[in-house]
Structure 1
């Protein structure tokens, strides 16, 4: 027995889905899409390279910055180089501060052990940490690197330095990202040392030997540098000179001063970095995965520090993010940076770390200026008017040629436009999709693809009626033949959009994304609106009886007569 068609249910499901999409839009509270730089202007950041970088380094830096600001591929920020010293970043709209920080950040991540701090007094008289004068400083992210802490465990560095940070400590995570269930035991052969009685001195080549040994007895020059150093005032964005082969004196955002060993692990030994909220937690964290080399070093360090009061510092751009102690011997190379993160700050940090450090340094506090739209308002208005007039002519022609069926074309184009607008709004919020003029062109091009689907379907259906079939039968027979043709055409468009998106750059990506999005929406409308709508209309005598205004009359089809549908039997089988 043939399956009974229920076009009314399909149409109802389609409109429920469309209503849900607009319900999500209402929850976001944004009813206008994010416009590109060419339509609304934005922010221009001019990065000035220090020294005389090579052309290759400048190009590499611009590519890394482009990956950062266009991480989703559709925000359409423009990154260009000028001369041999400038990288210009143009960001559409009012760019938030965290995006500017993402552009400017060097992202030089290094891991060092702590020899002493201004709070413990091991390198001189202990002093209370200076409270930041900047009210925003107390909420800055990066309280430490940790995995989910066991209940009741407190990071020893927080007891020790008296800061108001949440408890932090290193703990191992399993492959599913959860905290280890068993408390690791220290290797009995790795006994903690209490420190050498005499300070170590740099060797003849200026090296400092094993950092894990050096931290117990730092050299006199490093101690003197630590005592002479003053933490900069809160809000000072000047970068600290960070030589990985030498000890480092620096501070954290709480005003605590640190003397750190030469770097033990470089940020290049990170295999990945992602932002998210772990299961059973409520705060944003940045998850770190080390490669095989970093995992091996991290295991050695955790064994040396586990069970001691010694701290391990995470240093980003020469400033300490956190200096927790070890609560476990970590052997799998997985950890988290936790603290007072927001979604934006965690994502910004993870993006910078994921795409690597810049190969060159830039001057601090680069010039930032607001730029206007590159397209004049009257040009944009003229383009929209041209698109609207073209769409209107398509609708008029469809009404003239298909008559009653032309209403299906107009309705399909209308719901496709509504679905497209809803998706653009949702993607603007969730994926930073930015609508520029090339993107609008991609949406308009897809209108032609959508109209082609209708024409193929209607002509197949009319051919079936010319062969003597009634409209209800011709609708299904024509659909069986037309859908494969339309699927093949839309697949070609999707492949073209995919190739453009992968291999193109800048605003061309936006065009490809919009074209692919519109093509997918065309398929949804074609399968779940256009076909059910025609099947539903086939039940009415105006269409299946061949009315001269239906577009399916004998005169319109070029035949002597058309077959009419048999009346449905009341109470009979379908």
Structure 2
């Protein structure tokens, strides 16, 4: 066979026995080139989505280019008829005819006519080159659009934040505006001391927003917004709190007092509660009559005598924890508080206060590898602390009942923050120097408690209204 080219260049066409074979060749070439474009595109753009888009464009472009480069004899019969008239050949001689284009077809010249009975398909290398150029331009344009528009930059996912909306309750005689500003300053200092990455700002009215990265439970924030009034009280008795639902919302327009609470629970329930000499067994016959106490708000529970709060089984830890902090601060009165959310605890009067502490440090106990809060007392505070530990160690007057004793038979001392017990260690000796508060502390909890003691009391009570999780 002899090959001719219109401009004198030798062309090496690719011949296929059928159009199906040409289709398969076009598809295979498209896949190979698109894979190459995808790999190169991923290196250039650094985002697999755009690399995939470029590869797909390349796939389509190569397919179309190769299909255009392939011709059947029927599609080009006029062309061959026109060219055959200028060729002189014998009937047995096969001739390739080309005008320098990207295709060739085979004809058997006989008497000036071209035999178009051959159904084979040929693709010229020029057509393949054109298809490759089209593919590269299309893929390059796709990648160029991605880079030029900035779409190749990986998008940073929105960060999850928890926003705590905190409402202030100013005590009588305190300016809410000044108190809130001071509270925001103290909260920021506490968060910094505890290593808590929080954005704290004042909002409209008497609300403060505390924005913390991540999904955060309310426990650490409850400790953060505690007034900081740390009290050391001997534990007198412990009972298990009944499970209760969340207490009713507080009506801030109505101030609770003993008279209104007595009317709300009814004369019968009030009389039973008033005559109790100790905690009533929830299975006792009179327990059902005390059910109205379970419907009281935290503010209403706070005006009851501490002994009644402890003895009535239908008053739950959920209600006790919702009491306004400023209503349970009186160190000269016994109080009821909860530990672990279920242990209702009767506490003696406070004999050591945070003002008796000279400094506090959240640090790791090197001998046990746990986080503790180390306390150094003032001169007068050290004497008070020594006396309290002597009382607890010896259970003076047998005030601590069996439920309040530790595993070595010694009284425990509760460290009270607002109305929450943060620790209740058993006193194992009379302490005359630096002491440690132990508990289930992590680093941030220990440092936060130390910060509460060092930075002073908030001038205003705070409570959590809501804490939605947001993305920003």
Highest RCO, 1 vs 2 (Cα 8 Å, sep ≥ 6): 1
* Greater Rg by CA: 2
Q: Which one has the bigger strand percentage? A: 2
TM-score normalised to the size of structure 1?
0.36
TM-score normalised to the size of structure 2?
0.43
